[in-house]
């Protein structure tokens, strides 16, 4: 006899899986209208998942079966998008996961993508897989307003990346490997109250021109940011900052600085002239 589902961990897992299915159920018509390939497989998965839900998770195997079905659902949807790609840009909608299975099956297609967009309004994504580091041709990665709590360290392998937008994601820590993004021009990490500090490795982004970090919970800015000689815009408004490092006076390319709604009393050097 299989183990009955009754532990706290299993119940939490069950709740999250049900939320994933609920997301798919609400968007079923949109998914079936939008997707041009794998339609039969996706329809069959909807039917399979509905049966699992109706059985009310009597056994652990029900959770495993639902988890596998949801992984397949996401894989089929992502593959359908990849099959429709005509250039190097793709936007994934109506997904809750980015399965490793997709990378195993479609690595050649993923490796030539230069712009990847996943927006929370159309998705329920709560993590980025480490395999994201295999998409080495990426120039733009936008996964904003999702449920992502952690950026994998493999992000540092995307050395051609020019724009990284994770604004609105509940990320508590940026990986130090972010400093490897030598071509990064724009970093958008705002609207995230869980983010309380920036790693000093951000100071290694010597190509950075725009830093958007408003509506976070930053308490201090690293001195290393003074090395960003190409920085033109910096928005750190609505944080918990008490001062701006004196060394930021060296940022001679800076033309726009937003620091309102902090506890800053005095700005160093000529930075006060840049306040917007």
Let me know: does 217 contact 196? Beta carbons within 8 Å: yes
Residues 6 or more apart whose CB falls under 8 angstroms from that of 38 comprise 76, 77, 79, 80
The distance from CA 183 to its chain's CA centroid, rounded to whole angstroms, is 19
Short-list 170, 175, 115, CA closest to 145? 170
The SS3 of residue 256 is: strand
- pTM for the full predicted model: 0.91
108: exposed, middle or buried (Cβ count in 10 Å: 0-12, 13-18, 19+): exposed
Structure tokens at 227: 């090395």
Domain ranges of the chain: 126-276
Sign for the CA dihedral angle at 33, 34, 38, 41 comes to negative
Half-sphere CA count of 208, side-chain side, radius 13 A: 26
The SS3 of residue 46 is: helix
The larger pLDDT score, comparing residue 128 to residue 269, is at 128
159 DSSP assignment: T
Short-list 7, 128, 23, 101, CA closest to 63? 7
| pLDDT at residue 10 tops 50 | no
Looking at residue 272, what is its pLDDT? 67
Condensed to tens digits (0 to 9), the pLDDT of residues 123-148 reads 999 999 999 999 999 999 999 999 99
| pLDDT at residue 9 tops 60 | no
Angle at 204 between CA 200 and CA 206, to 5 degrees: 140
Short-list 113, 75, 119, CA closest to 93? 119
Looking at residue 86, what is its pLDDT? 84
Q: Please tell me the distance from the alpha carbon of residue 125 to that of residue 20, in angstroms, as a whole number.
A: 9
Looking at residue 52, what is its pLDDT? 84
Let me know: does 137 contact 88? Beta carbons within 8 Å: yes
Looking at residue 38, what is its pLDDT? 80
The distance from CA 31 to its chain's CA centroid, rounded to whole angstroms, is 21
Looking at residue 58, what is its pLDDT? 67
Fold exhibited by the domain 126-276 = 3.80.10
How would residue 2 be classed by pLDDT, with cut points 50, 70 and 90? very low
Condensed to tens digits (0 to 9), the pLDDT of residues 18-27 reads 899 999 999 9
The mean-pLDDT minimum among 8-17, 87-96, 171-180 falls in 8-17
The DSSP line for 24-63 is HHHTHHHHHHH--SSHHHHHHHHHHHHHHHHTT--BHHHH
Condensed to tens digits (0 to 9), the pLDDT of residues 171-225 reads 999 999 999 999 999 999 999 999 999 999 999 999 999 999 999 999 999 999 9
């Amino acid at each position: 006899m299989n183990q009955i589902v009754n532990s706290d961990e299993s119940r939490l897992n069950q709740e999250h899986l049900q939320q994933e299915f609920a997301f798919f159920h609400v968007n079923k018509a949109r998914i079936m209208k939008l997707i041009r390939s794998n339609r039969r497989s996706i329809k069959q998965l909807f039917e399979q998942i509905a049966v699992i839900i109706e059985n009310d998770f009597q056994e652990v195997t029900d959770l495993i079966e639902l988890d596998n079905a949801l992984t397949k659902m996401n894989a089929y949807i992502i593959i359908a998008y990849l099959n429709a790609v005509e250039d190097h840009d793709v936007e994934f909608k109506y997904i809750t996961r980015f399965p490793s299975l997709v990378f195993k099956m479609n690595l050649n297609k993923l490796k030539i993508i230069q712009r990847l967009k996943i927006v929370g309004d159309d998705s329920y994504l709560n993590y980025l897989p480490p395999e994201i580091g295999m998409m080495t041709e990426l120039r733009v990665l936008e996964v904003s307003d999702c449920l992502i709590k952690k950026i994998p360290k493999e992000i540092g392998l995307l050395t051609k990346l020019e724009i990284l937008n994770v604004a609105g994601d509940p990320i508590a820590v940026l990986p130090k490997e972010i400093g490897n993004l030598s071509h990064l021009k724009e970093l958008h990490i705002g609207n995230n109250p869980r983010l309380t500090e920036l790693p000093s490795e951000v100071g290694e982004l010597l190509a950075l021109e725009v830093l958007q970090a408003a509506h976070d919970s930053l308490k201090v800015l690293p001195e290393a940011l003074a090395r960003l000689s190409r920085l033109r815009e910096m928005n750190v408004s609505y944080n918990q900052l008490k001062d701006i490092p004196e060394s930021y006076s060296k940022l001679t390319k800076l033309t726009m600085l937003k620091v309102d709604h902090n506890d800053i009393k005095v700005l160093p050097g000529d930075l006060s002239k840049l306040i917007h």
